[in-house]
Amino acid sequence: MTRSVFRPDLLRGKSVFIAGGTSGINLGIAEAYADAGASVAIAGRDAEKAENAANHLRGRGGEAIGVSLDVRDYASVEAGLELARNRFGEFDIVISGAAGNFLAPALGMSANGFRTVIDIDLNGTFNIFRAAYALLRKPGASLIAISAGQATNPMMFQAHVCAAKAGINMLVKVLAMEWGPAGVRVNVISPGPIGGTEGMARLTPTAEEEASWKARIALRDFGQKSDVSEMAMFLASDASAYVTGSIFQCDGGWTLGNSSGETLGGEAR
Ligand code: HXC
Ligand code: NAP
């Protein structure tokens, strides 16, 4: 079981859909939600990976199904959401967390490379939330987009991710305004570097790079998947009933920046 400060039955009877929930950070959220009693549908492109991840959740005692879809394809998004709604009922919580990433300078990135990440992260989030809206339990549903610190802090070799995640942060604010009157909350979790994930394996392929990243984080370490899932528990629960259109950094202070670095010893230049 995921160690959580929240009540073990907090999400009993809740129906959850997690796009991009078949690995990494979002599978960590799926574990926490399933452990708290929710019925969880997890979706990714790879049907076998989705089924294995759902099996993993069921093995922990949760109720789960795997769904195969591509968030870039609106028809497949609609079909996947329908399938899950028919199984577990109208959604109380929907997470949009599918993402793609690779390190490349803008001049080493083809137009298709840039478009691919925008399509998965930003257009995928629009597709998931737009198609899920009709299938939400209203009032009361909570939508959560998974962004990243690149949304607010520019990073070289991440033009596609920075643009896509910045778009997600703004999209969420607009949806929160448009859907608030129906009792639908829409928020962002913006993780920093989380250890043991595909994302960080791609961004810090060597031990030296990992150490250099850690030196620039206020808390001097990578986060854990459970750090993000605890924030996702808060946003799924009534504890956040009056919270919408907000961006929650879960990043150890990474996006505060550390341009002065260690070398200045904290003293003014
Ligand atoms: C330059 C690259 C490239 C690379 C792919 N492309 N990798 N360009 N450098 N390393 C280009 C390809 O050449 C192609 O352009 C275009 O991108 C699409 O590539 P495909 O392989 O056809 O796309 P697809 O099969 O749809 O795969 C999407 C993908 C892939 C994003 C490229 O990496 C993927 O599926 N990723 C999902 C898993 C993932 O990335 N997880 C990490 C998320 S972490 P051309 O012009 O040749 O056709 C994250 C934030 C982390 O998002 C933040 C940490 C702080
Ligand atoms: P991950 O393990 O690679 O997870 C990505 C998920 O998205 C998988 O389930 C993947 O399944 C799915 N996916 C990818 N493309 C898809 C598509 N086109 N359609 C449907 N599903 C698709 O990544 P992670 O590192 O844990 O990151 C998870 C989320 O956290 C992402 O939104 C990422 O941007 C964000 N984030 C991560 C970090 C970090 O430190 N890792 C930091 C900040 C933000 P398939 O491959 O089967 O499609």
Q: Ligand 2 pocket by C-beta < 6 Å: which residues? A: 20-26, 44-46, 49, 69-72, 97-100, 120, 146, 148, 191, 193-194, 197-200
pLDDT for 257 equals 86
At residue 3, the pLDDT reads: 79
Residues whose CB is less than 8 angstroms from the CB of residue 232 and which lie 6 or more positions away in sequence, other chains included? 29, 32, 33, 95, 144, 189
- The alpha-helical segments, DSSP class H, found in 93-148 are 111-117, 124-132
CA–CA gap between residue 203 and residue 193 (Å, rounded): 9
Return the CATH class of domain 15-250: alpha beta
CA–CA dist 48, 23 (Å, integer): 12
How close is the Cα of 143 to the center of ligand 1, in Å?
26
> Can you give the pLDDT of all 269 residues of the chain as single tens digits?
657 999 999 999 999 999 999 999 999 999 999 999 999 999 999 999 999 999 999 999 989 999 999 999 999 999 999 999 999 999 999 999 999 999 999 999 999 999 999 999 999 999 999 999 999 999 999 999 999 999 999 999 999 999 999 999 999 999 999 999 999 999 999 999 999 999 999 999 999 999 999 999 999 999 999 999 999 999 999 999 999 999 999 999 999 987 655 544 444 43
pLDDT, residue 269, reads: 39
d(CA 94, CA 106): 32
- CA distances to 21, 191, 225 from 52, rounded to whole Å, are 12, 25, 19
Among candidate residues 98, 183, 84, 90, the one with its CA nearest the CA of residue 134: 90
pTM: 0.97
CA of 83 to the centre of ligand 2 (A): 21
CA 10/CA 14 separation, integer angstroms: 9
